[in-house]
Copies of this chain bind each other. A is one copy, B any other.
Amino acid sequence: MSEQPIIRRRQVTTGISDSRVNNAKTQSQYQPYKDAAWGFINHWYPALFSHELAEDQVEGIQICGIPIVLRRVDGRVFALKDQCLHRGVRLSEKPTCFNKSTISCWYHGFTFDLESGRLATIVANPDDKLIGTTGITTYPVHEVNGMIFVFVREDDFPDADVPPLEQDLPFRFPERSEQFPHPMWPVSPSVLDQNAMVLGMHRTGFGNWRIACENGFDNAHILVHKDNTIVHAMDWVLPLGWVPTSDDCIEVVEEEHGPKGMMQWLFTDKWAPVVENQELGLKVEGVNGRAYRTSVVMPGVLMVENWPGERMAQYEWYVPITDDTHEYWEVIVQVCDTPEERQKYQYRYDHVYKPLCLHGFNDCDIYAREAMQNFYADGTGWNDEQLVSTDVSPITWRKLASRWNRGIAKPGRGVKGAVKDSSLIFKDTADGRRPGYKVKKIED
């Protein structure tokens, strides 16, 4: 006979507490966010740095599960769905262009108009009745100050409804100086500013974009940075962390025509530095360090003002590739009006900011994000996590993102990551290659 195994039960004294701030009611307010494993669609995302796409160069990337091919012609960048409508291969795998107004599939010669995506012709089948009746989706492009942005949209999202890039970028100054005064530092430069010099890097993060994004403006993760070289090099004395002291410690911005996001009132009396933990016998004296302020706007763009130096701002994007990978973008912006200023900034970026900040400092954020992936990957983390008062930041973000996203990306179809482990991926890993962002070109 087969008895069921004996299970003894008792009152749970550890485990999930009702005192957590993200109870069921709170969670119900950001369900759309929980559903956005593949990202928010119909938003602007950075695709490449300008220097990564030379004249006539073709590159393929993937954002929100959508393969995208970019080509630059006479300086202008075009973006189309990187999946031939015929047999689904990626055009970018073997770039084939016969003129300046089209891109052709290297396999069967299906040729698409760069401007409209329309099937313009088929190399070896010029009279086929399919020509002109179909096409692939195009994606609006905005290139500014060294960055190429793409509006990643659903196939049926109308051109007329495409918002300006500004609506998906952080709050700008001095326009917002009155709304968000910051006596402690000069106005923060924007990627869109005239003479803005944008320096930075991007790499693939192995984890979902949401847990990466939340780490960016989480005010309680200071611990991971305590041993950073930059901290000690600058003789900073960091507090143990920050706690909100007022209900309006975060300001949510939901103006109809502006970016939707939130600003955190750091370095004001709405957030208090924690300098002591009696339980642990920890005490910090003579706190000093760089004053900064973080904000985040849809679709997940971080701005760190006055960081990593004066008259600078660091911006970060966590661009969804699949549901378990994202492209991590870090850029530092400074306005440089003269060649001398540009040269000086470039030098300082190469020798200080890139090695000590974008790497040394932010590398710690990367392992923190990857460390969360197993917990959230199977969906259980979103329910099991127990958040506290300092998590007002991610919770506020989750709610506003649930209200203001322009669409939730569906799981990728017919793309890398749609089926979790194709032998193709096994072959890559077995060959010692890592899953990546850019499409690997075929060697002739």
Does the CB pair B124–A241 fall under 8 Å? yes
A158 nearest in chain B by CB position:
B10
A377 nearest in chain B by CB position:
B419
CB distance from A242 to the nearest CB of B (A): 7
On whether A422 and B137 interact (CB within 8 A), knowing A5-B405, A128-B388, A274-B124, the answer reads no
Does the CB pair A134–B373 fall under 8 Å? no
Q: How many copies does the complex hold?
A: 3
Docked complex: A322-357 residues within 8 A CB-CB of B: 322, 324-325
Does the CB pair B378–A19 fall under 8 Å? no
Q: How far is the CA of A117 from the CA of B15 in the complex (A)?
A: 10
Does the CB pair A223–B108 fall under 8 Å? yes
Q: Chain A's interface: helix, strand, loop or mixed, by majority?
A: loop
CB distance from A231 to the nearest CB of B (A): 13
Residue numbers of A with Cβ under 8 A of B are: 1-21, 28-32, 40, 83, 85-90, 93-94, 96, 98-99, 102, 104, 106-109, 111, 116-118, 120-130, 133-138, 154-158, 161, 206-207, 211, 218, 220-224, 227, 239-243, 274, 276-282, 322, 324-325, 367-368, 370-378, 380-381, 384-390, 402-408, 413-416, 418-435, 442, 444
21 example contacts (A-B, Cβ-Cβ < 8 A) are as follows A5-B402, A5-B404, A14-B136, A15-B137, A19-B134, A94-B224, A98-B280, A99-B280, A99-B281, A106-B223, A109-B240, A125-B274, A126-B274, A206-B423, A227-B444, A375-B415, A377-B414, A377-B418, A378-B418, A384-B414, A430-B435
